[in-house]
Amino acid sequence: MPNRDYHSERREYNFASLDRDQIDANPFEQFTKWMTFAHQEAEIKDPTAMSVTTVDAEGQPHSRVVLLKEFSASGFVFYTNYNSAKAHELANNAKAALLFFWPELDRQIRIEGTISRIDPEKSKAYFHSRPRGSQLAALISEQSEVVADRATLEQRLQQAETTYQDQEIPAPANWGGYQLKANLFEFWQGRPNRLHDRFRYLKQGENWQIDRLCP
């Protein structure tokens, strides 16, 4: 085990502040502002990378990073294998959480809600917009299943390349999108002395209740 002591590793968060009069009444608009800034102005690498947390039948949480592909007031969309571990967990419990963290901006966004599958035709359209190599990988991968070695995966990929040479790759029936419908947002802005700014949006009927939270 490493002997390095991590207790003293810290830095101050000085990028910005977040006050009530700075945030939008609509959490989707606030999310859009922060995402646009991260993507276009701050040029954050992979700003759409987010942790998706699901819970299995035993109550054990599982997190993994995926890429956000679409968002609107209807929800937040990502794509995956419908036979994956996360898919089985969502079939058992549709409640999930998303987390975006941009250390360059001292910002994070938490989003909670319920997840459902999107329209199959929409999934198919997105599948065919992906690079050909990504399509083939989705076709041959039995996501979350044990595999003997990488050579096995590469052999499957080579076989698929041969099979579908000069042909359209069929969208797998077990691959598609999920959409999280949000009922809670939290916007976190790191501040000096760990006295961070936190604002929570909680869905109340058709409205959003906004509260400042202690850090």
Write out the catalytic residue numbers.
194
Tokens of 76: 């937040």
Tell me the C-alpha distance between 132 and 74, whole Å: 29
What is the DSSP code (8-state) at residue 148? S
Label the pairing between strands 61-67 and 107-117. unpaired
Q: How many CB atoms lie within 10 A of CB 115?
A: 24
CB within 8 Å of 80: residues ≥ 6 apart: 66, 86, 87, 143, 175, 176, 177, 178
Cβ atoms of 179 and 7 within 8 Å: the answer is: no
